[in-house]
Amino acid sequence: MKTARFVKKRAETSRLFRGRLLELVDSFPGCPIAVWGDLILDEYLFGTTRRVSREAPVLILRYAGSEFTLGGAGNALLNLKALGAEPRPVGVVGRDEAGRTILGILRKHRIPAEGIQVRPEQKTPVKTRVLAGEENTRKQQILRLDRESRVRETPEIHGPMVRQLSQESRRSRALLISDYDYDTVSENVFRRVLPLFKKARRPVTLDSRFRLLRYSGVTAATPNEPEASEAGKAEIGDDVRRLRQTGRSLLSRLQADGLLITRGSRGMALFEKNRTPVLIPVHGTTHIVDVTGAGDTVISVFTLSLACGATFHQAAVLANIAGGLAVMKKGTAAVNRDELKQAVSSEP
């Protein structure tokens, strides 16, 4: 469409481009990536439907089991690990059962935890999802309960955080910032450590739920369309012209080199300095199973690709393919390297 002024590209079909993507995926193993952000425990409670209660118009469930996994920045850690990288978390948990569970999951996946502060005054955020259905049917989420807690902005917490991130600017090849608005990520710490990563020429990527424009100077950000709309104060919807205007405005205000807006079933839009924006169609089917954690998959692949030498467009195409795989899985399931390679190889 002429007025849109977008370059429309399918996930590139040339053999040369596909070969380059596979080279990038092959370079993922062993790449150290620092992940700074909110560590959240995701709890899943499963039940089978019995009947409607006599006490209130609610379902009565027979408890069938529970599972724990990592949410927030923790999901990015698991995605990076599944891709063969060496994620290095920087964050805070409480000295409580949820915090111990998070540390236990990290140990299970052989992810180092020396960058995680365990604070007695802190309560670890927990998101509990209740899933229910008939005995032999796929369970559907019917309720989510969030137990939230913000990280205190004190010198006792920020001091060790700055020191840890300073070390990571020397030994990690990128910094992924995962801000779920629980204040692990603070502007004060960000302004102190950003110059260190820039001096070391390490890409810094940002996924911020509500505070996108507070962290100007990052290499790139990956907001979803509602986040971009809120930050740009513009309803985008199907208006491609407004998408272009919003993307260019946010790129400028962020003082970033790249901006990748994820648009669900509409795919993605990539903005770069002094380049025509690129529309990337959604990978795979538009019949989505579960979007939980898909944004963490996208920024994980995007960041890891940049750390391994990808261009913004190459990184965006790989992230788009990974995101398409993630939404076909239930819950916050990670996409592994073999799955990503197979999906790249099967591109038409």
Q: Active site includes 296?
A: yes
* Contact between residue 344 and residue 12 where contact means Cβ atoms under 8 Å apart: no
CB-count burial class (<10 Å; 0-12, 13-18, 19+) for 156 = exposed
* Contact between residue 251 and residue 289 where contact means Cβ atoms under 8 Å apart: no
Spatial distance between the Cα atoms of 110 and 92, rounded to a whole number of angstroms: 18
Contacts of 11 (CB under 8 A, 6+ apart): 280, 281, 283, 317, 320, 321, 347
Spatial distance between the Cα atoms of 73 and 175, rounded to a whole number of angstroms: 12
Pull the structure tokens for residue 145: 């309960």
The 10 Å CB-count burial string (b at 16+, else e) for 15-47 is eebbebbeebbebbeebbbbbbbbbbbbbbbbb
Considering the candidates 146, 239, 296, 338, report the single residue annotated as catalytic. Answer: 296
What is the residue whose two structure tokens read 């596909």?
18
Active site residues: 296
